[in-house]
Amino acid sequence: MRPGRGEVWDRLGAPTEQVGSVNDPRTREEHGVTWNEQWVYLGDDGKTVERIVLWLRYDLVGVFRIKPDGSAERESFGTES
C-alpha cells in the first residue's frame, strides 16, 4: 500500500510550494512519472529545491531528491511505484 497524503505530510512536513492540485485535470510528465500535483520543498536558503513529491490525484507516484546539478534521484518512500 502506498503512503497517503497525510502520512507524507506527517513525515516531510508542509510543502513550501505547490504546483497543480488534486483536482487539476491537467497532467504533466516528469522524472518518468505522470502527475497533476507537485509538492515542492525548498532548502534552508529558501530558494533551492531540495525535494519534490509527485501525486496523480490521491496516489503518490514519486518522491525525488533534487541534486545540486538539477538532476533528480528517486527516494525510497514506502511502496510507491
Q: What is the pLDDT of residues 42-60, one digit of tens each?
A: 999 999 999 999 999 999 9
pLDDT at residue 1, rounded to an integer: 74
pLDDT at residue 50, rounded to an integer: 97
* Rounded CA separation 71/48 (Å): 13
* Rounded CA separation 10/33 (Å): 23
pLDDT at residue 77, rounded to an integer: 81
pLDDT at residue 29, rounded to an integer: 97
pTM score = 0.90
Residue written as cell 514519486? 62
Contact 51, 75 (CB under 8 A): yes
pLDDT at residue 60, rounded to an integer: 95
Query: How many CA atoms lie within 13 Å of 24's alpha carbon, on the beta-carbon side?
Result: 15
Residue stretches of the chain with pLDDT short of 70: 78-81
